[in-house]
Amino acid sequence: MFNTDAKSNPLPLQPKPGPSPLGAAATAARSSPSPFEKAASAPSGTSVIGTDLTILGDRITIISANKLQVDGDVRGNVHGKQVVITEEGSVVGMVCAEAIEVRGGVRGSIRAVSVKLQAGAHVEGDITHQKLSIAEGAEFDGRVKLTKDASELMPVLDAEAIERSRANGDAGRYESPGQLRDEVD
């Protein structure tokens, strides 16, 4: 019924070269990049939450192993290696990363080795850091804590560890990613 003979002619995967039966218009359409190709050419290692996107949830944690750019609205926690909240972006929840740059809004705690609040930033919440920079024009209402131990500030980028803590009923009790890491290890 099925021919598995190695000598059989396989179907070609690519169209044969030559003039298009649809003419020059089809050739021109193929040569212009599609919107999907443009998205694929974004800077490598950067994830973007676009301006048209709102993420809502009681137990949402967004995790990015690389750079995360927030242009939209997030109602949940954000963990990443590097997080940039742009002028259009906002986060209501904890933001934890090795480096955080805020140009938009954050209502919740910020934990990072390096925190930069740029002009136009509006932050309501506590900041725990090793290095903090607040530009003229940034608004900040909260407490600041300088810590010497960088491991307290490292983001939890292991989704399974966060899920295990939630399964144990510990989702809201962690003040720092270090506490979660200590109990998981």
- Summarised one tens digit per residue, pLDDT across range 126-185 is 999 999 999 999 999 999 999 998 888 888 888 887 777 777 776 443 444 444 444 444
Overall number of domains in the chain: 1
Do the beta carbons of residue 64 and residue 46 sit within 8 Å?
no
In terms of residue numbers, what domain contains 99? Answer: 46-156
Biggest alpha carbon–alpha carbon distance for the chain: 76
pTM above 0.85, yes or no: no
Is 180 within a domain?
A: no
Is 14 within a domain?
A: no
What's the rounded mean pLDDT across residues 59-79? 94
Do the beta carbons of residue 123 and residue 101 sit within 8 Å?
no
Taking residue 177's Cβ as centre, other Cβ atoms within 10 Å add up to 23
Is 151 within a domain?
A: yes
Instruction: List the alpha helices (DSSP H) in the chain.
Output: 24-31, 35-40, 159-167, 177-184
| Summary mean pLDDT of the chain | 78
Is 19 within a domain?
A: no
Is 181 within a domain?
A: no
Is 35 within a domain?
A: no
Is 21 within a domain?
A: no
